[in-house]
Amino acid sequence: MTDWSERILAGDPRALARAATAIENRSPAAESLLKELFPHTGHAIVLGITGAPGAGKSTLADQLVHEFRREGKRVGVLAVDPSSPYTGGAVLGDRIRMLSHHSDPNVFIRSMATRGHLGGLAAATTDMALLLDAAGKEVVLIETVGVGQDEVEVAKLADVTVVVLVPGMGDDVQAIKAGIMEIADIFIINKADQPGADRLEREILAFQSLAASPDRWVPPIIHTVATEGRGVSEARFAIRSFLARTDAKQRAVANWILRLREMLRERLIQQFANVDFQAAAEEVAARRSDPYTITDGWIRHAGSTKFEIDHLGIAVRSLDSALGFYEKQLGFAAGLRETVELEKVNVAMLPAGESRIELLEATSPDSVVAKFIEKRGEGLHHVAVKVPDLAATVERLKAHGARLLNEPRAGAGGHHYVFVHPASTGGVLLELIQK
DSSP string, 276-338: -HHHHHHHHHTTSS-HHHHHHHHHHHHHH-SSEEEEEEEEES-HHHHHIIIIIIS-----EEE
- Is the C-alpha dihedral spanning 246, 247, 248, 250 positive or negative? negative
- Is the C-alpha dihedral spanning 209, 250, 262, 155 positive or negative? positive
Q: Which amino acid is at 366?
A: D
pLDDT in tens, 322-367: 999 998 899 898 878 899 888 899 999 999 888 999 999 999 999 9
Q: What is the DSSP letter of 144?
A: P
Residue 131's φ and ψ, nearest 5 degrees, are: -60, -45
Cβ distance 143 to 77 under 8 Å? Answer: yes
Domains of the chain: 3-265 (3.40.50.300), 272-303 (no CATH), 307-434 (3.10.180.10)
- pTM of the full predicted structure? 0.64
pLDDT in tens, 217-273: 889 999 999 999 999 999 999 999 999 988 888 888 988 888 888 788 877 777 777
Least confident of 56-70, 107-121, 321-335: 107-121
Model confidence at 215, in pLDDT bands (50, 70, 90)?
A: low
Q: Please enumerate in sequence order all residues whose Cβ is within 8 A of that of 11, keeping only pairs 6 or more positions apart, or say none.
A: 74, 135, 136
pLDDT in tens, 296-314: 888 776 655 568 898 999 9
